[in-house]
Amino acid sequence: MRIDIITILPELLEGPFSASILKRAQEKGLAKIHLHNLRNYSTNKQKSVDDYAFGGGAGMVMTMQPIDNCISALKAEREYDEVIYMTPDGEELNQSISNSLSLKGNLLILCGHYKGIDERAREAYITREISIGSYVLSGGELAAAVLTDSIIRLLPGVLNDETSALSDSYQDNLLAPPVYTRPAEYDGMRVPDILLSGDLKNIELWRHEKSLERTKTRRPELYKKYSK
């Protein structure tokens, strides 16, 4: 998989992509992440990428020209399965979206800033708009990092234990069950006996019951989806 990310602050993304699972995925050749500085595609001397909004109002708007030049240049080199704009008013990211995007080959992500991007860029190029929650960030970089992480960890071979991702919260509209590790007793607190029994069938039943219980209590809206 290849993910290209357009940003005016590439330094914000260099850290997340140079450590842990995302770093290993790139070293294994399972994923390629390329950052593109939008200012390099600006045609004015100041390399600015924003201007005042027509009609007035506070805040600046990312201009059409550098976005057009950048996306056009990248699309001339390869086809993209999706051109994604990270924006608070997009569809809210969930596990199902990450699952479906992990099956794609090439993704292009545009990080917004200021009051957003010229609407004509959205109309001309964007195929999908994604939000990571009902709140506003200073820019789309952190949201792009979250989306990228949620996708790449699902690629075959990225995680050491490939079954790990299948048992994550939200994969089946259920939250993950409680987990424990050694020692079996710490300061009077014991691990549930069932997990020490070696009875794999009953352990899985226990985990499923705990997933149902936790989901019903903490995320009733997910539990309704599961129980339908």
pLDDT digits (tens, 9 = 90+) for 170-213: 667 899 899 999 999 999 999 999 999 999 999 999 999 999 99
Q: Residue 85 pLDDT more than 90?
A: yes
CATH number, domain of 205, equals 1.10.1270.20
In this prediction, what percent of the chain has a pLDDT beyond 90? 88
Q: Are strands 128-131 and 32-37 parallel, antiparallel or unpaired?
A: unpaired
- Print the domain residue range for 185: 169-227
Q: Do 196 and 146 sit in the same domain of this protein?
A: no
Q: Do 37 and 124 sit in the same domain of this protein?
A: yes
Q: Quick one: which of 10, 130, 156, 13 has its CA closest to 70?
A: 10
pLDDT score, position 116: 94
pLDDT digits (tens, 9 = 90+) for 124-165: 999 999 999 999 999 999 999 999 999 999 999 999 765 556
Q: Quick one: which of 36, 56, 38 has its CA closest to 48?
A: 38
80, 132 contact by CB (below 8 A) = no
The domain tally of the chain equals: 2
Q: What is the pTM of this model?
A: 0.88
Residue, of 160 and 42, whose pLDDT is higher: 42
pLDDT digits (tens, 9 = 90+) for 12-26: 999 999 999 999 999
Q: Do 23 and 133 sit in the same domain of this protein?
A: yes
Q: What tokens does 161 get?
A: 């234990």
Please state, in angstroms and rounded to a whole number, the distance separating the CA atoms of residues 152 and 31: 7
CATH number, domain of 20, equals 3.40.1280.10
Q: Is residue 153 helix, strand or coil?
A: coil
Q: Do 71 and 175 sit in the same domain of this protein?
A: no
Q: Do 45 and 88 sit in the same domain of this protein?
A: yes
